[in-house]
Amino acid sequence: TIPDQNERNRVAESLLALTLKELFEWRLMQTDPNWSNFLYDPATGSVSLIDFGATRSYSKKFCDSYIRLIKACVDRDQEQMLHWSTDLGFLTGHESEEMNRAHLSSGMAIGRPFAHEGIYNFRKQHVTKEVKTDAQIMLQHRLTPPPDEAYSLHRKLAGMFMFCIELDAAIDCRSIFEEQYNKYHFNN
């Protein structure tokens, strides 16, 4: 039987919370977003990870900066987004205005589920279309490749968002992020 919408939302919340926990608490992430790598227990609502073949660790410094970058997206603080993007190595600090605009626009679009106040409906999002134009600009004007950590991390995050879309999820992503952010311990 197909789970009802409340159950699908619960799965989506659990997957998103687990992903943030992997990155910001454990700093160790199973980076293959494939349905067969998770077990869901409907009796408890818990999601468990299986198959750790694509596991990657992340440094404390990277996690400190990355959670600040997400927070800047949540706060719609473009100056801080550029700062933390440069700190992480997504940007050099010498990019053209066009590149910075595309980077900020893309970051805002990707960060929208976490920035949205209240329930975010994944089925009604258009992030892929929005980012497509920005991606073309970034490919033409990029001065440095993204940090190595970004490839596996963004594959996992994109996969989690795709799961949420497939589940037709409508969840409070901001609260999930803020819970993780509020208990995060920074090195400096």
Kindly name the residue from 4, 32, 64, 168 that is annotated as catalytic.
32
Give the tokens for residue 40.
């869901």
Helix (H) and strand (E) counts in the chain: 7, 6
Give the CA distances from residue 112 to residues 42, 44, 72, 178, 187, in Å, rounded to whole numbers and listed in that order: 29, 29, 11, 14, 27
- With a CB cutoff of 8 Å and minimum separation 6, the contacts of 16 are 160, 164, 171, 173, 176
4 is catalytic: no
- With a CB cutoff of 8 Å and minimum separation 6, the contacts of 132 are none
Strand partners, 29: 56
The residue type of 132 is: K
Radius of gyration of the chain (CA): 17
Active site residues per annotation: 32
